[in-house]
Amino acid sequence: MIKIYEACAMLNDEKAMQALLAPVPNSEGLRRVLKPGHSMRTQIYWKETSKAHYVLCDGKEVRLWTVTDVTLQQAATIAAKCDDIKEWDAEQFHAAVSRALGGEVTRIQ
């Protein structure tokens, strides 16, 4: 069953950022590019765990969505559907995943 986990942390809270990024592969490199005042979005696929991580930073807060049990192709399709999101929030991300995978997914917070 595909599940979506969501978490967030303030960029200036180092302890919270370490906890947020702990499950993300190669998070040290990601942490270096997450900077105050710098907005960005990226995704990381981890083949060994079949998890896709989607990161959104508005320059103050970092949001992380983890989608479980997906293939590389499914992760890429989700990323493409995310390009259509104008106002980022949990509901919009969840809807993009549902559109990408063509069905119901379980949202876990």
The string of DSSP letters for 23-78 reads TSTTHHHHHHH--TT-EEEEEEEETTTTEEEEEEEESSEEEEEEE-S--HHHHHHH
Domain boundaries of the chain, sorted by first residue: 3-108
Which of 100, 89, 4, 94 minimizes the C-alpha distance to 53?
A: 4
CA 6 to chain centre: 8
Residue 11's pLDDT is: 95
Average pLDDT of the chain to the nearest whole number: 92
Residue 109's pLDDT is: 61
pTM of the model: 0.90
- pLDDT tens, 72-109? 999 999 999 999 898 888 889 999 999 999 877 777 76
- Average pLDDT rounded to a whole number, residues 62-76: 96
Residue 100's pLDDT is: 93
Collect all residues with Cβ–Cβ distance below 8 Å to 47 and sequence separation of at least 6: 72
Residue 65's pLDDT is: 95
